[in-house]
Amino acid sequence: MSGDFGSIAVLGPGLMGGSLLMALRHRHPTLRLSVWARRQSALDDVMNRGLADFGSLDAAEVVRDAGCLVLCLPVERMKKFAESLVNAVASGALVTDVGSVKGAVVAELEKVFSRHNNFVGSHPMCGSEEAGLDAARADLYEGATCVLTPTSRSLPHFVEKAARLWEMVGARVVRMDPARHDRAAALVSHVPHVAAAALVELVGTESGDVRKLCAGGFRDTTRVASASADLWSGILALNRVEAARGLGDLISLLASIQRALEEERLDEVNALLSSACAHRAEILNALQ
Amino acid sequence: MSGDFGSIAVLGPGLMGGSLLMALRHRHPTLRLSVWARRQSALDDVMNRGLADFGSLDAAEVVRDAGCLVLCLPVERMKKFAESLVNAVASGALVTDVGSVKGAVVAELEKVFSRHNNFVGSHPMCGSEEAGLDAARADLYEGATCVLTPTSRSLPHFVEKAARLWEMVGARVVRMDPARHDRAAALVSHVPHVAAAALVELVGTESGDVRKLCAGGFRDTTRVASASADLWSGILALNRVEAARGLGDLISLLASIQRALEEERLDEVNALLSSACAHRAEILNALQ
């Protein structure tokens, strides 16, 4: 299954890239893996753990012999980084990424890699509020959904290769166009992220006695708000139109519940909670 | 420590009441425990598990000899239920509850129990989306915060007795007046609950491809939306003023982020996310 990959280069060994190296090393021990990191200490950490066969701070050197490159950087850094290494990438090498926004990223990277049309966007849906190699784990991708976002420019054999890559680490592949992905990601991830941060701020800006009441519900509802603010403002910036639209949808719904409470239309509140309870069960059951 | 309780009567063996019985049985095996349930099958379940020494569907019979009563019913049923048993309660018996709303519940129950002024409101902050005796566990209250809401009418020895009850099952007791509790509970629990339900509905009312992207962040952020809609519409109904006010605060904050995204004031988005990340760490660290 892993025969035609040659070596796989992971660019950026954080939570996503580090977990990818671990999963590939664990499941496909004969694959040659190479790694680029921005800092020497991060590179040393990967190499000391035996997660790659070759590593360098020079991206061109890392990608030159790779049959597949996976860009595991914050979304706002992808374009500049890709430009810095495009000339070193072999014509037959697949380039993909793990960015949480696809419209802007795919448009930028398809342009950077237009010579061979070898870029296909990916978004494995398994990030968390944690970051860095210390949070990485070999089973991060197992059972996760990975969205591929091919466009009319994508070459089928590269799309197939990208699908195989994620299946090799246990993910389920779904295909979606970049714009649809960004609408969906806004609703399932970016808007909930903003809501979680806002819920924390409601409590965080109150006096201390309120905080003492925070319990399991608060903890889970706001978990994602502990993620890197820089990483997430980058994501929201690149998907700001869909995120703002989704926030508008959320605000409308919350305002209708607020009015129902104010006007004592409690059946409406019950109906919404019942519907949400049923929908959540449907959504999670379908994912199993 | 458990010497002066006589027997403890738990009224309603669901998640909260069932867990209380388990915790008392486990930690204080010599205490006499009695239980009232609405349905024979629920009563049989408690008795078959050996969680109480006496049980009946007749509340008056259950509470007659108790030194302490704990009302573990949905908030909207408390008043009527209390009225049905008040004449059977001994003058020295503490009456408390586990309701998630305190203003309305305390006002109602102080009135019902005004003859001996033996009601003190409690709200142990450890509910979950699960319900019923099958979800109950002996360690539910361990490390949890339990809010006591004494008023100017409360007799100090009953307040002390209520505090001891919750400490006996491992909770940390905090005192707060009922109105302040309801503001705080709206912010840390009732508003997040509505937000979770609304976030589910945003996805639930979209076509199926969006749902496929739901992952760990969505699952945790919306966990509480799987709770009983009836239980929670009762809570929201009784705390509707503070819940609506808190929703208004949330909507204002979300709208300001929406505008910042639309107008590309991305530093503001980053500042909010950074503040939320720091506040969440502060809040959770203080709880440990």
pTM over the 0.80 mark: yes
Give the pLDDT score at B186. 97
Give the pLDDT score at B1. 46
Which parts of chain B fold into alpha helices (H)? 15-27, 40-48, 59-63, 78-85, 103-112, 156-168, 178-185, 191-204, 208-211, 216-221, 229-238, 240-262, 266-287
Cβ-based neighbour number of residue B242 at 10 Å: 23
Chain B residue numbers with beta carbons less than 8 Å from the beta carbon of A282 are 204, 211
Q: Do B191 and A199 touch (CB under 8 A)?
A: yes
Give the pLDDT score at A207. 83
Q: Do B280 and A204 touch (CB under 8 A)?
A: yes
What are B229-271's pLDDT values in tens digits? 999 999 999 999 999 999 999 999 999 999 999 999 999 999 9
Domain B3-176 and domain B180-287, same fold? Reply is no
Would an 8 Å CB–CB cutoff place A128 in contact with chain B? yes
Would an 8 Å CB–CB cutoff place B192 in contact with chain A? yes
- Give the fold, CATH level 3, of B3-176: Rossmann fold (3.40.50)
Chain A residue numbers with beta carbons less than 8 Å from the beta carbon of B205 are 279
C-alpha span between B218 and A163 (Å, rounded): 24
Give the pLDDT score at A286. 86
Chain B residue numbers with beta carbons less than 8 Å from the beta carbon of A244 are 258, 261-262
C-alpha span between B228 and A256 (Å, rounded): 20
Going from N- to C-terminal start, the domains of chain A cover 3-176, 180-287
Would an 8 Å CB–CB cutoff place B206 in contact with chain A? yes
Cα dihedral sign, A134-A138-A141-A143:
negative
What is residue A197's three-state secondary structure? Answer: helix
Give the pLDDT score at A1. 46
Would an 8 Å CB–CB cutoff place A274 in contact with chain B? yes
Burial tier of A286 (Cβ tally within 10 Å: 0-12, 13-18, 19+)? exposed
Q: Do B197 and A254 touch (CB under 8 A)?
A: no
- The yes-or-no verdict on residue B137 having pLDDT over 50 is yes
Of chain B, the end-to-end C-alpha distance in Å amounts to 25
Would an 8 Å CB–CB cutoff place B284 in contact with chain A? yes
Q: How far is A247 from chain B (nearest CA, A)?
A: 6
User: Mean pLDDT in each 10-residue stretch from start to end of chain A (288 residues)?
Assistant: 77 97 97 97 97 97 96 96 96 96 97 97 92 96 96 97 98 96 97 98 92 93 96 95 98 98 97 98 89
Would an 8 Å CB–CB cutoff place B187 in contact with chain A? yes
Instruction: Name beta bridge partners: A148.
Output: A122, A175
Chain B residue numbers with beta carbons less than 8 Å from the beta carbon of A196 are 221, 276
Listed by number, the residues of chain B in 225-264 with a beta carbon closer than 8 Å to a beta carbon of chain A are 225-230, 232-233, 236-237, 240, 243-244, 246-251, 253-255, 257-258, 261-262, 264
Structure-token pair, residue A133:
């190699």
In CATH terms, the superfamily for domain A180-287 is 6-phosphogluconate dehydrogenase C-terminal like domain (1.10.3660.10)
Q: In the A/B pair of chains, how many CB contacts fall below 8 A?
A: 321
Side chain identity, residue B25 = R
Chain A residue numbers with beta carbons less than 8 Å from the beta carbon of B261 are 236, 240, 243-244, 247
Supply φ then ψ for residue A131, to 5 degrees.
-145, 160
* ipTM greater than cut 0.90: yes
For residue B263, the surrounding DSSP H or E stretch is none
Facing A214 at nearest CB: one of B188, B220, B233: B188
Would an 8 Å CB–CB cutoff place B207 in contact with chain A? no
Summarize the confidence of residues B29-49 as an average pLDDT. Answer: 97
Chain A residue numbers with beta carbons less than 8 Å from the beta carbon of B209 are 174, 176, 180, 184
Contact between residue B120 and residue B162 where contact means Cβ atoms under 8 Å apart = yes
* Radius of gyration from C-alpha coordinates of chain A: 21
